[in-house]
Structure 1
Amino acid sequence: MGVQQSELQSLLLLPLYLLVWLYSLISFLPWYYLTGAGERRARAMRVKARSTSGLPEGPYRCVDSFKSLATEDLPGKDTLDKLFEHAVQRFRDADCLGTREVLSEENELQPSGKVFKKLILGEYRWLSYQDVELSVRHLGSGLTALGQQPKSMVAIFCETRAEWMVAAQACFRYNFPLVTFYATLGEEAVAFGLNETEVTHLITSTDLLETKLKGVLPQIPNLKHVICVDQIRISTEGYPPGLSIHSMASVQELGARPDRLAKPLVRPQPSDLAVVMYTSGSTGRPKGVMIAHSNIIAGMTGQCERIPGLGPKDIYIAYLPLAHVLEMTAEISCVAYGCRIGYSSPQTLSDQSTKIKRGSKGDSSVLKPTLMAAVPEIMDRINKNVMNKVQEMSYIQRTLFNLGYHYKLEQVKRGYDAPLCNALLFGKVRRLLGGRVRLMLCGGAPLSSATQRFMNVCFCCPVGQGYGLTETCGAGTITEATDNSTGRVGAPVLCSEIRLRDWVEGGYTNRDKPHPRGEILIGGPNITMGYYKNENSNQDYFVDENGQRWFCTGDVGEVHPDGCLQIVDRKKDLVKLQAGEYVSLGKVEAALKNCSLIDNICAYANSEENYVIGVVVPNQKKLMELARRKGVDGSWEELCTNPTMEREVLKEIKEVATSIKLQRFEIPEKVHLSPEPWTPETGLVTDAFKLKRKELKNRYIYHIERMYGGK
């Protein structure tokens, strides 16, 4: 009976298949010539970078000659303060930085008994370029009035918000090197960085001051002034004597006095230190990367060239940590080109976000951005959420969606598009992010091909991947908007060169077939000055015979014939098993994230053992459905510790691993299910959602020992 029903449903859909075929036949040629699809396809297929030496190891350089933001688009603007001043002159009355008004807050009781804070937010309130310039001038002048000297550092430990960018621009203008920390960094790590840089002035929020800093302030003797970006009055009780706490508004009022503004400025030079950026890192103490004005200008050159048509019509949604080099340089670039920046957070990004009250609008729906940056973890979540909703559709709806999806997927793979599918099927999905996103850029970690294709198809825009590090100002390679390939991170940007260095132990050399492989070295004017007070770590930097500075990334890459790079491994993730096989933990994790039961996974291997194990954060909805099918009852925590569920997850992992041809020794033999999601707040992943292996090992050491037989 079920087979007959399925055949009947397929028969009913036959006219639709014929209609789609007929539409494609009639519309393809007019669309092809009117939209310039052929030209875009040709650009996607072209060679994008070449080895300047003719050797397979490189160095590889973009086929376009080296350019400079200072000499091409913005002549003479070779420091960050000059860039900002030029933007103010060009876009004086235009909107610059926007923040949504909080209308009300409510506590919502969850079925689990937990209470979540929900927000109802209003419209965006905008500061014009002129407004921002005034705030920048007054804040810098106010910091000077509080004793801050040129070339002395100011620290910022704050969430992503408009005040962060105002503070940064003030420091750039007054030549105060800016020391940055992730808002999710632990108290001890922040205290370490503040003591290492010996800062006397710190900019933060009231919440972070009260919850994270208050307990460690007695350990930071050099700190004299704390400036809170919000207007909440704070009692000085419980704070160290001699520490002054100010609001940002009061410092700006101090700086607005005519006698203060009349004092001459000491402007920065291109070689001057602009930022000491503390990376949360996946191991050990945070390291402060020293970044000069010229480094950031160079990095921005490469990034901006890969965003076609960047300008005043664009709206950028800012929600990633501003203490991350990708977000900071993206926002500085947007300001330089006259874009609007609307501030958001991962908890308020969409209508479905955790802090948005049901029935009210998230930030994307109100802002309707055209540009967006993301990390793979966020894109993976969007992918799984949409596909879960597709599974809940009726058979006809699900079939229609899948038909449209696979039809457009084939078109995208050929370098084309499917306008009818965009209009009829994917409009609702696009509206999850406001409906106007024309380009998304992903960085921080490799993005799976499946997720990249999903975002291409459902959000109807190019999804580029970028590769870079804090040490390279976030610039290394970026895919072009016309490149429809997946799994690659593009060709070197204008400011960078790429070389491959043989890593024999890992089995990667420039003689590999079909493509040369090796450790990725990045060179160019975007390579930073080194690590602050950390000479031991500076061995990753070197200067070649031509005076060019290089950074050794520790990542392993493969260069394709068109000059595009693919990340294939990481040196630090390689573990040798007892029997002598080498296992790349990152490779195993990337492969197994394709399993629908898995939200996140950390593979682990001990050189004294002969098999791999894994700690898995399961997808709650999928695991609970599986438990119902297997007749297993219990709470979420009980399901995650149930041996039957561990076996069932392991069974599916092995099926996925076999289907994608992982080697037998690479497939985990045992798993532990963690009911706790891994977020930067838990300290188990970085702000770019990279695994912190040391912290994960310490958190799950009992289960690791259990899976290895109690050793």
Structure 2
Amino acid sequence: MHWLYINPLLLQVFRSVVWVYSVVTFLPWYFISGAGVNQARAKRVKARSISGLPAGPYRSVNCIDRLVLTLHQGVDTLDKVFEYAASHFPNRDCLGTRELLSEEDEVQPNGKVFKKVILGQYKWLTYEEAFNESRFFGSGLAALGQEPKCNIAIFCETRAEWIVTAQACFMYNFPLVTLYSTLGGPAIAHGLNETEVTHIITSKDLLQSRLKAILLDVPRLRHIIIVDSKPTNWPDMPRGIMVNSMAAVQEIGAKPEHIRSLPLPTDIAVIMYTSGSTGIPKGVMISHSNLIAGITGMAERIPNLEYNDTYIGYLPLAHVLELSAELVCISHGCRIGYSSPQTLADQSTKIKKGSKGDTSMLKPTLMAAVPEIMDRIYKNVMTKVDEMSRLQRSLFILAYNYKMEQISKGYGTPLCDRLVFHKVRSLLGGNTRILLSGGAPLSPATQRFMNICFCCPVGQGYGLTETCGAGTISDMWDYSTGRVGAPLVCSDITLKDWEEGGYHSTDKPNPRGEILIGGPNVTMGYYKNHTKNQDDFFVDEKGQRWFCTGDIGEFHPDGCLKIIDRKKDLVKLQAGEYVSLGKVEAVLKNCPLIDNICAYANSDQSYVIGFVVPNQKQLTTLAVQRGVPGSLEELCNSTDMEFEVLRVITEAAIADKLERFEIPKKIRLSAEPWTPETGLVTDAFKLKRKELKTHYQDDIERMYGGK
């Protein structure tokens, strides 16, 4: 992190004030805040090898004798989770949606038109109301011919109706096929045809923009249910397809109700199509017991989780992280208010200037985020810090460094939080007590920033769709960075030697190897993909199911895991050096000039190259300093700017101690950000390397001297 010069006298005055304040308040604050207890919690051993071998399996010390399968006794299927919540919290708020007051088109200086919205208060369904809506919807689907144990699809944005649909399917034992709302036509058709669905639940917008174009490619489809409240006529549907609104189906289901076919723990609850960072999406079969175990493990890592918590849901519900997080909240009677990345904060792209974003209205206490979103917040705030006066900037830096020192000792900093960080904290509503990060590695700089400026712990998690998102989550008292925590109480983790990459469980100082996750959260495998199942899943001699992740990790002495590489990201250069592309990207994404980067290497070449989405503001500033004129697109196509950005990247890489052969020698700047809509990243913003390679093929040939 680059900070400007700080006046030594100001620094000394601040340190003196802080020293006096710390001495006066130390004893009372030490006992009131429980700093000693927090330090002990942070330093304690959190998992250990149950075999005594350095490879593991490693297991949480909270379940050393056996893994934990369920949250509540006898609640072993997902329909029972909702029944439990509805009976214990019937009149509490469950699912909340903001009222749309108005929307208008706003013309930007560059001529583009953005749609802006003004949103009202949150309108809530209670747990009892949400339960009844789900029950009637499931009954209505049965009336429309949906059979138990026959697949049904949902292709919809994250919203209350998504969860109502999911709960209806859990109750009536309809395996739910989930598809990302950003998938392209061929991928949607592949998922629907492979799972042979006859009924699909979608929204009006997605039916018009995506689904309609491929209906003729899905011959089995008979029923489309639209979740939007306003009834809509669709006269130009292909013959044989009926369209109903969700409300109409619920009305059918309410009189008379169809008899439920209750699921067993071993029945499929969800067939979740991954967003597919490589190739076509794969459908992961997840049983009721798999998801129950996964949410049990997640819930154990969230201290004091209870019905007074409020969660903001905006990540794709077709992603295992968001679905698991919302099921954890439902199992504890929390409120879930819905949002989207475009309306999340007051400054979000669809929020009309002067009106409130969703976090300001909802004031959530719990939130999940992918690193891409946290990186964006971090860079935006740091850009604003750079624009402050010298005095303001110096005070912010001093407070930042002081708090970093204090939290590492287990102490809080209420004075700094109130005087310095309250404005940053208010970006997420001001009440956030826990942030959960998942989906991709979170950089240490961003994690530290979120800890300090948002005044709450960041639990970095690690897991996959194939393990119900569950694997590890860092302890909320552990403020170390770059680690993903100890195994959850539902998981065992072992390390498998990888000879080619040079990773072994006998490595010093820490055992290293491919991460294998075992336990009741490990899913049933890929739908209709026997070969891939044999490659990635196995059952050991004790009957425990395992998944081979392809990620490389190391275990620290306290039982916490660190992700250090990925098998698929490792490329051998011409001279024999191995380069971890993921490692290069993780280091360089900390550079303020870079919004996103994809490192690339051909094994018949001697150097790494990169595709870079620059930060527009930083790039423009650099161009002004170097006297290079032009629009963003012209700057990105400028060889002079490529050279300047490469110089900055090289300096950042050297400062972060990348090896010479790991530093990109040539780059291509991209004016267009990579979003799931472009097809270059997944919905969790993971890079799609195959698609990026195709997209930049001409540039690859140019940078490697082919053109």
Q: TM-score category by the smaller chain?
A: over 0.9
Q: Is the 8 A contact 1:57 1:500 kept in 2?
A: yes
What does the per-residue CA deviation read over 1:329-380, in whole Å, with 9 as the maximum and x for residues that have no partner? 1111111100000000000110111001111110000000000000100000
Q: Is the 8 A contact 2:33 2:412 kept in 1?
A: no
Superposition pairs of residues 355-374 of structure 1, within 5 angstroms: 355-374=350-369
1:393 counterpart = 2:388? yes
Superposition pairs of residues 140-159 of structure 1, within 5 angstroms: 140-159=138-157
1:612 counterpart = 2:608? yes
* Alpha-carbon spacing, 1:580–1:473, altered in 2? closer, same or farther (3 Å): same
Q: Distance in 1 between matches of 2:69 and 2:30?
A: 34
Equivalent residue in structure 1 for 2:642, among 639, 646, 669: 646
Per the TM alignment, residue 524 of structure 1 is displaced from its structure 2 partner at its CA by 0.2
Please state whether the residue corresponding to 2:52 is helix, strand or coil.
coil
1:437 counterpart = 2:425? no
Q: Is the 8 A contact 1:206 1:232 kept in 2?
A: no
The amino acid that maps onto 1:681 is E
Q: Which runs of 5+ in 1 are unaligned?
A: 1-5
Q: Distance in 1 between matches of 2:158 and 2:304?
A: 26
Per the TM alignment, residue 13 of structure 1 is displaced from its structure 2 partner at its CA by 5.9
Q: Distance in 2 between matches of 1:570 and 1:10?
A: 45
Equivalent residue in structure 1 for 2:249, among 248, 251, 255: 251
Q: Distance in 2 between matches of 1:95 and 1:306?
A: 24
Q: Is the 8 A contact 1:69 1:75 kept in 2?
A: no
Equivalent residue in structure 2 for 1:229, among 227, 230, 247: 227
Per the TM alignment, residue 710 of structure 1 is displaced from its structure 2 partner at its CA by 2.1
Per the TM alignment, residue 235 of structure 1 is displaced from its structure 2 partner at its CA by 4.0
* Alpha-carbon spacing, 1:67–1:57, altered in 2? closer, same or farther (3 Å): closer
Equivalent residue in structure 2 for 1:421, among 394, 416, 423: 416
Residue of structure 1 equivalent to 2:670: 674
Q: Distance in 2 between matches of 1:153 and 1:182?
A: 16
The amino acid that maps onto 2:507 is D
Equivalent residue in structure 1 for 2:618, among 608, 619, 622: 622
Q: Distance in 2 between matches of 1:415 and 1:658?
A: 32
What does the per-residue CA deviation read over 1:144-190, in whole Å, with 9 as the maximum and x for residues that have no partner? 11001111111000000000000000000000000001111111101
Per the TM alignment, residue 14 of structure 1 is displaced from its structure 2 partner at its CA by 4.4
Per the TM alignment, residue 240 of structure 1 is displaced from its structure 2 partner at its CA by 1.2
Q: Is the 8 A contact 1:48 1:491 kept in 2?
A: yes
The amino acid that maps onto 1:390 is V
Equivalent residue in structure 2 for 1:18, among 8, 16, 31: 16
1:101 counterpart = 2:96? no
Per the TM alignment, residue 12 of structure 1 is displaced from its structure 2 partner at its CA by 5.3
Residue of structure 1 equivalent to 2:271: 276
Q: Is the 8 A contact 2:11 2:398 kept in 1?
A: no
The amino acid that maps onto 1:655 is E
Please state whether the residue corresponding to 1:64 is helix, strand or coil.
helix
* Alpha-carbon spacing, 1:133–1:368, altered in 2? closer, same or farther (3 Å): same
Q: Is the 8 A contact 1:291 1:529 kept in 2?
A: yes
Equivalent residue in structure 2 for 1:82, among 57, 65, 80: 80
What does the per-residue CA deviation read over 1:19-42, in whole Å, with 9 as the maximum and x for residues that have no partner? 122111111221111111111110
Q: Is the 8 A contact 1:67 1:301 kept in 2?
A: no
Q: Distance in 2 between matches of 1:584 and 1:17?
A: 42
Residue of structure 2 equivalent to 1:566: 562
Q: Distance in 1 between matches of 2:551 and 2:358?
A: 35
Residue of structure 2 equivalent to 1:486: 481
The amino acid that maps onto 1:225 is H
Instruction: State the aligned residue count.
Output: 701
Q: Distance in 2 between matches of 1:519 and 1:313?
A: 40
Q: Is the 8 A contact 1:69 1:300 kept in 2?
A: no
1:127 counterpart = 2:122? no
The amino acid that maps onto 1:11 is L
Per the TM alignment, residue 237 of structure 1 is displaced from its structure 2 partner at its CA by 3.7
Q: Which runs of 5+ in 2 are unaligned?
A: none
Per the TM alignment, residue 536 of structure 1 is displaced from its structure 2 partner at its CA by 1.6
Q: Distance in 2 between matches of 1:413 and 1:34?
A: 17
Q: Is the 8 A contact 1:32 1:38 kept in 2?
A: yes
1:514 counterpart = 2:497? no
Over aligned residue pairs, what C-alpha RMSD do you find? 1.3
Matched-pair identity in %: 68
The amino acid that maps onto 1:644 is D
The amino acid that maps onto 1:295 is N
Per the TM alignment, residue 234 of structure 1 is displaced from its structure 2 partner at its CA by 3.8
Q: Distance in 2 between matches of 1:578 and 1:390?
A: 43
Please state whether the residue corresponding to 1:119 is helix, strand or coil.
strand
* Alpha-carbon spacing, 1:403–1:86, altered in 2? closer, same or farther (3 Å): same
Residue of structure 2 equivalent to 1:376: 371
Per the TM alignment, residue 608 of structure 1 is displaced from its structure 2 partner at its CA by 1.5
Per the TM alignment, residue 99 of structure 1 is displaced from its structure 2 partner at its CA by 0.3
Per the TM alignment, residue 10 of structure 1 is displaced from its structure 2 partner at its CA by 4.5
Q: Distance in 1 between matches of 2:301 and 2:8?
A: 44
Please state whether the residue corresponding to 2:388 is helix, strand or coil.
coil
Q: Distance in 2 between matches of 1:473 and 1:231?
A: 32
What does the per-residue CA deviation read over 1:55-111, in whole Å, with 9 as the maximum and x for residues that have no partner? 0000001111245463xx521010000111011000001110000001000111111
The amino acid that maps onto 2:578 is Y
Residue of structure 1 equivalent to 2:281: 286
The amino acid that maps onto 1:322 is L
Per the TM alignment, residue 703 of structure 1 is displaced from its structure 2 partner at its CA by 1.0
1:497 counterpart = 2:492? yes
Please state whether the residue corresponding to 2:448 is helix, strand or coil.
helix
Residue of structure 2 equivalent to 1:3: none
* Alpha-carbon spacing, 1:59–1:69, altered in 2? closer, same or farther (3 Å): closer
Superposition pairs of residues 52-91 of structure 1, within 5 angstroms: 52-65=50-63, 66=66, 68=68, 70=70, 73-91=71-89
Range that drifts further, 58-67 or 75-84: 58-67
Range that drifts further, 9-18 or 293-302: 9-18
Q: Is the 8 A contact 2:67 2:491 kept in 1?
A: no
Equivalent residue in structure 1 for 2:696, among 690, 695, 700: 700
Equivalent residue in structure 1 for 2:170, among 169, 172, 178: 172
Q: Is the 8 A contact 2:232 2:245 kept in 1?
A: no
What does the per-residue CA deviation read over 1:94-153, in whole Å, with 9 as the maximum and x for residues that have no partner? 110000001000111111110101110001000001110110111001001100111111
Residue of structure 2 equivalent to 1:308: 303
Please state whether the residue corresponding to 2:213 is helix, strand or coil.
coil
The amino acid that maps onto 2:548 is C
The amino acid that maps onto 1:125 is K
The amino acid that maps onto 2:445 is A
Residue of structure 2 equivalent to 1:324: 319
* Alpha-carbon spacing, 1:179–1:12, altered in 2? closer, same or farther (3 Å): closer
Q: Distance in 1 between matches of 2:59 and 2:68?
A: 15
1:464 counterpart = 2:459? yes
What does the per-residue CA deviation read over 1:393-415, in whole Å, with 9 as the maximum and x for residues that have no partner? 11111111111001001112222
Please state whether the residue corresponding to 1:214 is helix, strand or coil.
helix
Q: Distance in 2 between matches of 1:420 and 1:470?
A: 42
Please state whether the residue corresponding to 1:390 is helix, strand or coil.
helix
Q: Distance in 2 between matches of 1:498 and 1:13?
A: 47
Range that drifts further, 621-630 or 13-22: 13-22
